[in-house]
Amino acid sequence: MVRRRGPRSLVASSEPRRLIAVLSLLAAWGCSSGPARSSAPPAGHADRARLAAEVRSEIARCWRGYEERARGHDELLPVSGGFRDWYGESLLMTPVDALDTLILAGLPEESARAKALVLDRLSFDRDVTVKNFEVTIRLLGGLLSSYQLTGDPRLLALADDLGHRLLPVFASPTGMPYMFVNLKTGKTSGARSNPAEIGTLLLEFGTLSKLTGNPVYLEKARRAVTVLYARRSAIGLVGEEIDVETGEWKSAASHVGGGIDSYYEYLAKSARLFGDADLERMWRESRKAVDAYLADETASGLWYGQSDMTSGRRTATEFGALQAFLPAVLAFDGDLDRARRLEDSCFRMWTLHGIEPESIDYSTMKATEPGYPLRPEIVESAYYLYRYTKDPRYLEMGRVFFEDLKRYCRVDGGYTILKNVVTKEKGDLMPSYFLAETLKYLYLLFTPDDPADFEHIVFNTEAHPLRRTW
């Protein structure tokens, strides 16, 4: 039986520091947040090592929680002490997703155990129908980055086997991938897909080609994204749903949220990782349309909402935890002004209820989807902004995120999702991306010795670093 930590002691010890941190950040940005407070020293460079050490010990604690209660399964249910396997049998989502985090955080015993578990147990010779996108970003991405970090050829062999089993997805009439594939039979399904699931494959498939010398992976994934790009509207936007057999749009809703988000991320990052001028041009054109029709300068700051892909007409003013990836990509692209202003908006979203909801309406600043599934994007953006600006306010933001996570989501053996950020009611799941991304980005933000070499690596959308060695 899993017991929660006493919430009272956590509230009592963390609340004043959190409040001071939030107030000093808002004050620094000229935001009104109630009565002025005394100028507490902002968390700065000096605190970094201590915070990094604390995140490292949380990474180790979460990994041990998984090992004790869910070892060999996909994900830990930290409140009930159970586990979840996505497809009835395990594909070791958490160990594969967590392995490079354990390595980068300097946890050699834990990473050795994770790697041994993956090598002993992981097999893709299974009669299961998987979601191509999720398996690509978590498993293929995780295996490739762990191979590059360890040099162990067995990890690359697993990646190659998985890539081979996923290839049938591209055998649609357009070349855009089906959503699902059976790993044993190669049978595909799911013709109605979306830009994110079509366009978020190239970093992993392209890297697999470069590392194995087999060009087929890169060719198929690159073709899929170029076919999708060619179907953008006359004003340059993509919609939310498309039929990969006919190429016909099924939803004209355009935005930078779930279902579209990482399509843009991968245009920018693939252009850089593969030195691909065509992709660079596609990214530039796409960004112009996104900034022209989705960006929304409002009294409460810069946001990116919803518009019709054909007319560009504004259809909704929703923004959420997933959209918070965009400041990172804008910073990666060199637009620090927009990146900073959008991250400020994201931070406002976070501080509405002390932790971010899945979605808000930024015209009313009310939560429209109140859950918090331990998402990483806002932390990822703080990390990029700190790396590019060295502005300590992003360290301060990171400290607020970390303290709120501990306050509201920390349980014995791990962290859990929230069903509702207003009531702070807990759910019962530690998604694999919490170790792959949320804790990794917090660690990389704080550690004074960030091992990520921005000249030669890009992070895939699951925070797996892929190094350009070609």
Residues that bind ligand DMJ (CB under 6 A): 137, 262, 375-377, 433, 437, 461-462
Q: Which amino acid is at 393?
A: R
The H or E element that residue 13 is part of is helix 7-28
Nearer to ligand DMJ, 48 or 133 (CB): 133
- Least distance between ligand DMJ and beta carbon 305 (Å): 19
Nearer to ligand DMJ, 114 or 378 (CB): 378
- Least distance between ligand DMJ and beta carbon 325 (Å): 7
- Least distance between ligand DMJ and beta carbon 278 (Å): 23
- Least distance between ligand DMJ and beta carbon 384 (Å): 14
Residue keyed to tokens 């994204």: 225
Nearer to ligand DMJ, 2 or 140 (CB): 140
Pick the catalytic residue from 134, 160, 403, 462. Answer: 134
Contact 79, 428 (CB under 8 A): yes
- Least distance between ligand DMJ and beta carbon 266 (Å): 10
Pick the catalytic residue from 358, 380, 396, 403. Answer: 358
Pick the catalytic residue from 100, 356, 377, 403. Answer: 377
Three-state SS at 48: helix
- Residue number with the shortest CB distance to ligand DMJ? 461
Nearer to ligand DMJ, 338 or 375 (CB): 375
> 197 to each of 7, 56, 225, 312, 403, how far by Cα in Å?
39, 32, 10, 23, 33
**Does the annotation count 377 as an active-site position?**
yes
Nearer to ligand DMJ, 403 or 437 (CB): 437
**Which tokens go with 167?**
């290839």
Contact 194, 241 (CB under 8 A): yes
**Does the annotation count 97 as an active-site position?**
no
Contact 62, 439 (CB under 8 A): yes
Q: Which amino acid is at 445?
A: L
Nearer to ligand DMJ, 94 or 233 (CB): 94
**Does the annotation count 261 as an active-site position?**
yes
- Least distance between ligand DMJ and beta carbon 377 (Å): 6
CA 212 from chain centre, in angstroms, equals 26
Contact 294, 254 (CB under 8 A): yes
Pick the catalytic residue from 75, 204, 261, 396. Answer: 261
Strand partners, 361: 318, 366
Residue keyed to tokens 């697999």: 208
- Least distance between ligand DMJ and beta carbon 14 (Å): 24
- Least distance between ligand DMJ and beta carbon 358 (Å): 10
Nearer to ligand DMJ, 207 or 262 (CB): 262
**Which tokens go with 413?**
């053996």
Distance from C-alpha of 123 to C-alpha of 32, rounded to nearest angstrom = 54
**Going along 106-220, which residue ranges are E strands?**
129-131, 180-182, 188-189, 192-193
**Going along 129-205, which residue ranges are E strands?**
129-131, 180-182, 188-189, 192-193
- How does strand 465-467 pair with strand 301-304? unpaired
**Does the annotation count 134 as an active-site position?**
yes
> 214 to each of 134, 186, 224, 225, 464, how far by Cα in Å?
22, 19, 17, 19, 21
Nearer to ligand DMJ, 21 or 139 (CB): 139
Nearest Cα to 203, choosing from 460, 465, 457, 468? 460
Active site residues: 134, 261, 358, 377
